[in-house]
Amino acid sequence: MDCLFCKIIAGEIPSKMVHQDDVTVVFPDINPKARVHLLILPKKHIPTIADLEDGDEKIMGHLMRVAQKVPRAQNLSGYRLQFNVGKDGGQEIFHIHCHLLAN
């Protein structure tokens, strides 16, 4: 599959993983828009939030727990979580990812 983020998940493109488990990976954005800018992804290739299907609740619920635990481990007192959905929503890479931004 020709997906940049699937290649990072597969280790074909090296990236400094911040967190990894059976369901998700977390790595720094290559072009950070804040002091801390991480991307939280499901390992499953789902192009956008708009493509979620029955059964994906478990994955996305898990992703939200990771979005809670990673900043806690980094002692971040506050942060923003953002999903860009679709081309018109500013999405450039079509593999679901949650931006975690903290200054």
CA 69 – CA 37 distance, rounded (Å): 15
Verify whether residue 95 is a known catalytic residue.
no
**Residue 24 binding: pick among Zn ion, ligand 5GP, none (C-beta 5-8 Å cut-off by kind):** none
Q: Are 77 and 15 in contact (CB under 8 A)?
A: no
**Residue 92 binding: pick among Zn ion, ligand 5GP, none (C-beta 5-8 Å cut-off by kind):** ligand 5GP
Given the rule CB under 5 A, which of 26-34, 49-57, 69-77, 89-97 is the region that contacts Zn ion? 89-97
Q: Which residues contact 86 (CB under 8 A, 6 or more apart)?
A: 48, 50
50 binds ligand 5GP (CB under 6 A): no
91 binds ligand 5GP (CB under 6 A): yes
